[in-house]
Amino acid sequence: MVQYHLARNGQQLGVFSEDEVRSGMTTGQFLPDDLLWSEGKSDWQSLSVRFAAATAALPTTPASFNPYAAPQANVVTPAMMPQLQLASRGVRLGAALIDSVIMMIVMIVPMIPGFFALAAAEQAGDLEESFPVSALYWFLAAGVASLVLLVWNAVWLGRYGQTIAKRILGIRVVCFPSGQPAGYAKAFWLRAVVNYIINSIVPLYGLVDACFIFREDQRCVHDLIAETTVVTDKPGN
């Protein structure tokens, strides 16, 4: 039997069966604009969407409605996410730094012998005549190594929701708020590729994206774009 998670004003109301939800709508316990989520769904939706016919004749405010109370937004918050343990901001920052360091090592280390070859050719006066073949090989090796690392991370993001650093630190990207695997479409294309394109075009986007980590749900702009979040996990799983 399907079990529904219900929430209102950012707080979970509990988990109910379909019969309990329908009964609660009849008595006024649940409102058409309350949020609902069940296993297998990628996002929360209002009761009026899932139970359109049953909510058509129901009031949109409870009997105890206070017209003088401060307005509250009916939004998804961490408290509404079933069985998800968000990765800490520090761990997410650490993963980003480790991934950056790994990429720098893969790119720069193979290029060092190439720079030495260039310096030797310039000192010998041969650089004006031809580009050192050995230097070219090292630069190509750096390019190939970087491409391999990018493909590796892309495959891991699609399959496991992890880059190398995320795997080391035991965190992964999942769908928000269901916790289901994000897959290639969300974890790689939307969260990584589309975010990279926006960052390349929009000034200061990277700074704004990073600052969004201080939201209550700790979701950066790229998480909002891809409808994902980052949760803790056991390393290697």
Residue at 125 is within a domain: no
Mean pLDDT of 102-108: 95
In sequence order, the 6+-apart residues with CB closer than 8 A to the CB of 33 are 46, 47, 48, 60, 74
Q: How far is CA 25 from CA 11, 48, 50, 80, 236, in A?
A: 18, 10, 12, 20, 45
- Whether 153 contacts 164, CB under 8 Å: yes
In sequence order, the 6+-apart residues with CB closer than 8 A to the CB of 3 are 15, 16, 17, 38, 39
Q: Is the model's pLDDT at 149 over the cut of 90?
A: yes
235 pLDDT tier (thresholds 50, 70, 90): very low
Picking from 29, 58, 80, the residue at the C-terminal end of a domain is 80
Overall number of domains in the chain: 2
Tell me the whole-structure pTM to 2 decimals.
0.66
Domain residue limits at 196: 89-112+143-232
Question: Are both 104 and 215 inside the same structural domain?
Answer: yes
Picking from 80, 100, 131, the residue at the C-terminal end of a domain is 80
Integer Cα distance of 130 and 124 in angstroms: 12
| pLDDT (tens digit per residue) in 24-34 | 888 888 888 88
**Which structure tokens are listed for 159?**
């399959």
Question: Are both 166 and 97 inside the same structural domain?
Answer: yes
Portion of the chain with pLDDT greater than 90, in percent? 47
Question: Are both 169 and 98 inside the same structural domain?
Answer: yes
156 pLDDT tier (thresholds 50, 70, 90): very high
Integer Cα distance of 90 and 73 in angstroms: 28
Of 31-35, 66-70, 187-191, which has the strongest mean pLDDT? 187-191
Question: Are both 66 and 162 inside the same structural domain?
Answer: no
**Which structure tokens are listed for 201?**
């075009």
